[in-house]
Every structure is written in C-alpha cells, then in structure tokens.
Structure 1
Amino acid sequence: MATIRKRERKDGSCIYQVRWLQGGRGGSWESEPFGDEASAEQFKKLVDAHGQQWPHGWVKGQGFVEEPAVPGDVPLDSYATRYVDRLTGIDERTREDYHREIRIHFAVLKHTDHAGREHPATICTLTQDDVTDWVRAEEEGERDQADPEKWARRPADPKSIANRHGLLYCIVQAAIDADPQLRTMNCCKRTKLPRVDDHTVEEMTFLERDEYQRIAAEITDPDARDLADWLVGTGMRWSEATALRISDLNLTADRPSVNVQRAWKKAKKGTAGGAFYLGPPKTKKARRLLRLSPVQVEMARRLATGRKGDDYLFRAAMGGEWRHANYYNRKWKPAVEAAMKKGLPKRPRIHDLRHTHVSWLIAARIPLPAIQIRLGHESIQTTVDRYGHLVQGLDDDIASAVEAVMGVPAPRPGLRQVV
C-alpha cells in the first residue's frame, strides 16, 4: 500500500509525498510530491488501484499527459457536421434533422482525460468511456439549475438514444475509413444501449373492435369517418393513406388492390410552398400493393366516382388533402374525448389505428412475415420487436400442435411390442 508523508518547508508550507514500492515487495522506492493533501490522497488511491505501479498516462512531475494530437484532428461537432453535409441519398429534411441532433445532443459529448478532467471531444480523442457517459447523460436528462422542477434537457427515450448512437457510430467509422486514417477503432462498437423494447409496448394502444366502433360513431363527418375506417382497415401510415390518388386504385382485377408509392414528407424549414411535400414512402419495402377487402373496394369505388385520376382519394371539406393537425384537432380528438366521456378506457392516437390493425391480424392467426409485407416494414425484426408480444395469444395452438405430434410415444429399441 502506498503511504503519504507530510513534510514542512522552511516557509511554513507543507508538501505531501506519496511513496510506494514499485510493483510491491522487492521493488524500488518511488515517490511523487503534491502541494495539498487531497491531491496526494487521490494519487495514492490511483497507485494502489494500479498494483503499486505508476498510473497509466502519468508522467512523473507533470501528472497525466494527453496523447499527442493526431494530425487532422478536429472538434467532434465540426467533423460530424462535415460528414452530414457530404451524405448522399438523403433528403434535405433528414439532413436538417441530423444537424439538429449534432447541435443539441452531440454537444453533451465530452472527453474525460486520465485525471478526470473534461475537455471538448474531438474525433480522435473520443473514447468508449466518453460514449458510455454520453448515453447515460442522454438517458438521465439534466435538471435546470435555476429551477430543479424543470428540465434543461429532458431524458431521451431508448429509441432516440439508439438512433443518435447509430449516427455517431457512422461518423466515427468515417474517421476510420478516411484517407489519411484518423482512428483505428470505433469507440461506439461496444456501447451498451438502453433496451428499446422496454418502452415500445407502452407507447402503443390497441383497440378492440367495439372500442374502435365507439370512437368511429363519434366522427360525424362522413369523409373523416371514411379515412379512419381506411386507416384501421389497411394498417397504412397516415402519410401514405392521405397521399393516395384515384389512379393508385386497381378495382377491376380479380384481386383488387391499392398501390402505395408515395407519402407526405416534412419539408426543410424555410422551404417555399408549404411544410410538406410528396416523396417516396418511408422505406423501399414500403412501396407495396395492398389487397383490399370487399368493404374497402366499395368505399374506394364510392370515393372515386366522378373523380379524376390525379385527385386525392381522401379529401378534406374544401377538396384538398387532409393535414394531420387539422384532422387530429377537429375530428379525431373530439371523437376520442366524446367516447371517453361515455366510458372508453383508452386514449388512442391516430397512429394507433395502424397498431390496432396489426393486433386484429394477429388475433386472426395471420403470421408475422405476412404482416411485415402488409405494413411495409423493411425488416421482419421490426415487426417482431413491435408486435411479437401479441403472438402469445397463439400459445394454446402451439401447445396443441406439439401435443398432436408428441402425444403418441415412439417405439423404443429393446422393448418388445405387445400385439
């Protein structure tokens, strides 16, 4: 164990010398002086923690010394901004979202040196511990120092943290792939992130058929009711359903369907022409043909009668396309509140109609891969993560299937069969 020896100088000041046997018994004596007892005590603990060795990164007489700066090293936010500016294959709204994440959330990233001092993070100094500290800070949030009852930065949900960490991972990887190379390892590779599924289920509301009917009965506008019925009956996203045109319908075929090929996108701030524009669906697999039921075919024919091919299938009162805020505030929210006053125990969002559609399909024993295709999920893992817990309703069917196969014992070698 290291010890501290206090020595008084002629001027009355004191020096605190930490002494230890390098490597333990049999080693040579080493020492390091400090001007205050607290610093000496902290260093003593470091020596003990390092097995009676000089702490890694400590230079005698100087303290912890950072590694020499790597040529080309720049502040993390600067490198991240440049990385996002050079991304291809993304729309400007997505690029703007990435810049906002860098400004607001990457600003929390700090680099902590060996002595515990914090420094602005650079693309080369960022470590795995720094990333872990950042994830924890994102998860916990930060209280307003002036008013502890308020948040200076609210806690982030697991999905948001995972998305930001994914962006950071790509930025660090770009530094590894750069020429000349700025890093050799990705410090984000082994980060333990909060479980996304801890919150996914809580955010969803699933309606029983009679619960949806109680809400639908309160939607007095026939056009608004048609849209709600379509959303819950097809599982389409709001942005997809409200972007449908008459020309997307194929009602004369043996298998009537609708072609999902566009969706509303939020435009970059300051863009002329409005806050939304039409673009491709959310993912490649979101481009899909949806089979329509007889009830949906009847609705589509009614709405398409006397209309042109480029007209929207669902139209608001003035003949234009529906806007989410308008529909929510004037149609959906009043209907939900009216139904709740009459005993509805849930407060669903419009997007919960999509979740409700899935729950009805699972209750009808539709397999998850088929649901993935219908919803336009890029990966089956997305479908399983969000809705896999609902498949528990099939436990009895699974048990019955196993019993049917395993119920009759197979003959065992060495046992004579009794005829």
Structure 2
Amino acid sequence: MVKRANGQGSLRYDRERKRYELRVTIDGRRRKVTGKTQAEVNERAEALRRNAELGPGLPAEMTVSRYLEHWIAQVLPLTDLAQTTREQYERMARLYIIPIIGRRRLDQLAPADVRTMLSRLSEQGLSPATLRQARSVLSRALRTAEADGLVTRNAARLVDGVRQANKEGRTLTPAEARTLLSAAHGHEYEALVYVLLSLGLRKGEALGLSWSDIDFDSTPAKLTVRRALKKDNRDRTYLDTPKTTRSRRTIHLPGSLVDVLRQHRKRQAAERLAFGEGWGGRFADEDLVFTTSIGTALDPNRVNRQVQQIAQDAGLGKWTPHELRHSAASLLIAQGVPLKTISEMLGHSSIRVTADVYGHLLDDARSEAATAMEGVLWG
C-alpha cells in the first residue's frame, strides 16, 4: 500500500493482475481506478475529477481531450458495446486522437483538423485500418456531442473515409469446402467445422453457443447467436455479448447441419455421463455446444490449430476459422443469395460492410445481371 496525501486516495499494486489500483472519493462516491503504471492511474483519476467538476453542463471552451475523457468515463459505459470493444475505443482515443487534436476546442473542431490527424497517423506508419478506426471512434464521440448540443456538426463524418487496399483473402471453392467437410468427419471438431463453414459464424460466437440457442423443433431448425466466448487480459475465457448489436441474430440451419449437431449432442451426452459429477467446471451451467471432453469451454487458440490441422490433412493447406467464415460468404454469393441476406446472416453492422469486404466476389453476379437485361430488352 502506498501512502498518499489527504484527498489523493489509497494506491495499491495487484501482483496477480500486474496493475495499480487507486481508490478515491469523487463527488461523494468511492471510485476505483486501475492502470499499468502509477502515472496512468493518476492521469485517469485526474480525468474523473475533472469530469465531476464539469457537472451536467459542459463548458463552451471544452477541448477535444477533455470531452473525450468525459465520453470515455461517462458515455461509453452506458452503451451496449462489449467491454473489450469499449477498451479498444478508449485505447484508440488515448493513443491516436488526443495526442494530435486533443488541444483543439471542441466547438471549433473542423474537418481540416480531422484530415490533419489522419495524415499524421499515416506519416507515423500506421495502417489504413487503424486510421479508419480512429476516425470511426472520433465520429462516434462527436455524434454524442452533437446530440447534446455541444457541437453543431460532426467534423469526422464530413471527412472522406480512409481508402484501404482490398484484401480479398482466400476462400474455399465448393469442391474444396466439400473436401474439408469430408476430412472433418469423425473428428472431435466435426460439428464445429460444419457450423463455421455453413453458417459463417465468428469463432467466438460458435464457441459461445449453448444448446438452448438451437431450436431443433422449429421448421426449419434455427440457431440464435446471443453470446461469444472471449479472453480477458489474464488469458481466461469468459462469455460476453457479441461484437455488435446486429451480431445478435437468428439463422436458419441446413438440414445436414442439423443431423451433425444432433449426433454431436449424443456424443457429448455420453462424455458427460462417463465423466460424472463436476463435468463442465465453471461452465457447467452454460450447457455449451462445443466443449472439451470434460465439459469446459474450448480454448480459442487450440481451435485455430485443430481447424488448420484438419485442413492440412485434407490436402488443402492451413485454413483458419476466420477464412471459413469468408468462405461461407463466398459460397452464398456464388449461389446468388442476396447481399442483404448474407449481411444479416454474418451479423455485419451494415450491408455496406458486407459490400466492402465481399464486393470483389460480385463480378459474376453483375455479369449475369447484364446478360439478363440484354435478354429482356434486346433478346
């Protein structure tokens, strides 16, 4: 325990988490602030004090930095974003936004300032993806400021999006996809591979499924994504909300997948019976679809290795769970499934995201549309 002056709170170091913890009284409430260093803890505590002093009405001379501190401490926790996403937004604000435009007055922030920020981040060698996210986080914060009447316009939204090289990535052909499913037959991860490839779920979404999320009695059978398996900063797995609001979705299941899942459930029930009491450990009440032989949640890293091994054994080389998700989308596009339906199935935040990621796969469909119009009007 580190002694501090009156009113400065009590500071301690958590050796297990390797983080400092400071408990301070702010605005009559006891608050806990954590950080990797004492300086980080002190900075966050000071930000909380400043926010408390601001009260309900933020002053007109508010800087971008002070507003973002307010947004991080008071607004982000009230959103439906997952904890990991909120932490990522905070990191983006502190590392990339505040150091460059933090001193600008909030009400005077202009699109030119945002372009300057993006230009300087690019000069630092940061990737287009990082620039896009920095702009997105700033835009989200300014959207709240605009709604609260603190700014008259969202300067970030008035700036053109960052151009990013289209990384088309690999996708399995229909023949390769069937080969992979054949190679997975009889493997302990057979059902998981079927789910990843036929439904396009994110790995964490698949690993977070409970049997109550699958309705075998409906016609057709349905699966609802409600949670995702994630890892905290201590490498411990836990269940949390999916990536975005649209990630919570219901998907119709192909008949062959239903058969595989039913067989998987029977095998799991036999394992559970053989193990006896204590099956599942701390996940015992979750009734997870995909588990180890003792009922605990699968380790995401081991899943990567096993899926890659199955693909290698099939003679396809290494393929990751995320590439199976991309393959699911490409197979649906090849079958002429509308992009909006694919977007909803994948749980994208908008159809624009789907178009940006998979637009290069639509050339054949566009050619077919042109041929169809030729036949209708001039055939």
Q: Normalized against structure 2, the TM-score is what?
A: 0.69
Please identify the structure whose Cα radius of gyration is greater: 1
Distance of aligned partners of 1:190 and 1:311 in 2 relative to their CA distance in 1, 3 Å threshold = closer
Higher relative contact order (CA 8 A, sep 6+): 2
Residue number in structure 2 paired with 1:304: 265
CA drift at 1:223 = 1.5
Higher-helix-fraction structure: 2
Are positions 1:132 and 2:122 aligned together?
no
**Number of residue-to-residue matches in the alignment:** 304
SS class of match (1:259): strand
Cα separation, 1, equivalents of 2:143 and 2:286? 45
Residue number in structure 1 paired with 2:155: 187
The question of whether the paired residues in 2 share the 8 Å contact of 1:85 and 1:95 is answered with no
CA drift at 1:313 = 1.5
SS class of match (2:127): coil
CA drift at 1:213 = 5.1
The question of whether the paired residues in 1 share the 8 Å contact of 2:225 and 2:250 is answered with yes
Residue number in structure 2 paired with 1:286: 247
Residue number in structure 1 paired with 2:348: 377
SS class of match (2:251): strand
**Segment drifting more, 79-88 vs 90-99:** 90-99
Which one-letter code corresponds to 2:198 in the other structure?
A: G
Distance of aligned partners of 1:191 and 1:252 in 2 relative to their CA distance in 1, 3 Å threshold = closer
Residue number in structure 1 paired with 2:131: 161
SS class of match (2:161): coil
Query: 2:174 is matched with which residue: 179, 198, 209?
Result: 209
Are positions 1:366 and 2:337 aligned together?
yes
Cα separation, 2, equivalents of 1:334 and 1:172? 46
SS class of match (1:188): coil
Residue number in structure 1 paired with 2:369: 398
Distance of aligned partners of 1:245 and 1:187 in 2 relative to their CA distance in 1, 3 Å threshold = closer
Are positions 1:79 and 2:67 aligned together?
yes
Query: 2:97 is matched with which residue: 95, 98, 106?
Result: 106
Cα separation, 1, equivalents of 2:215 and 2:153? 53
Q: Where does 1:329-344 land on structure 2 (aligned, <5 Å)?
A: 329=305, 331-336=306-311, 344=316
CA drift at 1:221 = 7.5
- Deviations 1:269-295, CA, capped at 9 Å, x for gaps: 46xxx6443233333333333222222
- Deviations 1:131-160, CA, capped at 9 Å, x for gaps: 2121112234x2xxxxxxxxxxx42224x3
Which one-letter code corresponds to 2:303 in the other structure?
A: Y
CA drift at 1:265 = 4.1
CA drift at 1:402 = 1.6
SS class of match (2:188): helix
Are positions 1:232 and 2:197 aligned together?
yes
Residue number in structure 2 paired with 1:326: 302
CA drift at 1:352 = 1.2
Residue number in structure 1 paired with 2:217: 252
Q: Normalized against structure 1, the TM-score is what?
A: 0.63
SS class of match (1:222): coil
Cα separation, 2, equivalents of 1:139 and 1:367? 36
Residue number in structure 2 paired with 1:89: 79
Which ranges of structure 1 fall in alignment gaps of 5 or more residues? 1-69, 112-119, 143-153, 409-419
CA root-mean-square deviation: 3.2
Query: 2:291 is matched with which residue: 312, 315, 333?
Result: 315
Distance of aligned partners of 1:172 and 1:284 in 2 relative to their CA distance in 1, 3 Å threshold = closer
Cα separation, 2, equivalents of 1:71 and 1:313? 52
Distance of aligned partners of 1:276 and 1:285 in 2 relative to their CA distance in 1, 3 Å threshold = same
Which one-letter code corresponds to 1:313 in the other structure?
A: V
Query: 2:106 is matched with which residue: 102, 112, 123?
Result: 123
CA drift at 1:315 = 1.7
Cα separation, 2, equivalents of 1:217 and 1:172? 51
CA drift at 1:266 = 4.6
SS class of match (1:223): coil
Distance of aligned partners of 1:404 and 1:101 in 2 relative to their CA distance in 1, 3 Å threshold = same
Which one-letter code corresponds to 1:291 in the other structure?
A: H
**Segment drifting more, 76-85 vs 246-255:** 246-255
Identity %: 25
Cα separation, 2, equivalents of 1:221 and 1:298? 13
Which one-letter code corresponds to 2:228 in the other structure?
A: A
Which one-letter code corresponds to 1:284 in the other structure?
A: T
